[in-house]
Amino acid sequence: MNDDRLADLLFELLSGEVTISDNQPDFSDWKYLIDNGLVEHSKPKGSVGTRAKTITFRRLTEAGKQKLDSLEAQ
C-alpha cells in the first residue's frame, strides 16, 4: 500500500467509525491497519445467510495518530 492510500484510510477514521466487509475489494488495505496496530476495531462478525464478515474500525491508536502525522508532514 502506498503512503497516499494509507493516509486516506487513517484520515477517514478521524471522522468516525468505519464498517467494512471482508469481501470488499479494498479489505487488504484495511487489514493492513489492523496488522500494524494502527486502529482499534471490533472482532469480525458474520451475518446469517452470508459468508461475509464485517469489522468496525472505531478509532486510531496512538501509533495510528503518529503515523498519520508523519505522513502529513511529508
Residues 7-33 pLDDT 10s: 999 999 998 899 999 999 999 999 999
pLDDT band at 50 (very low <50, low <70, confident <90, very high): confident
pLDDT at 56: 95
Residue 37, pLDDT > 90, answer yes
DSSP H/E element including 57: strand 53-60
Question: Rounded to an integer, what distance in angstroms lies between the CA atom of residue 51 and that of residue 36?
Answer: 25
Whole-angstrom distance, CA of residue 23 vs CA of residue 66: 29
Domain count, the chain: 1
- pLDDT given for residue 66 in this prediction: 96
Separation between Cα atoms, residue 74 and residue 65, nearest integer Å? 15
Largest Cα span, the chain: 45
Residue 62: give the domain boundaries: 3-73
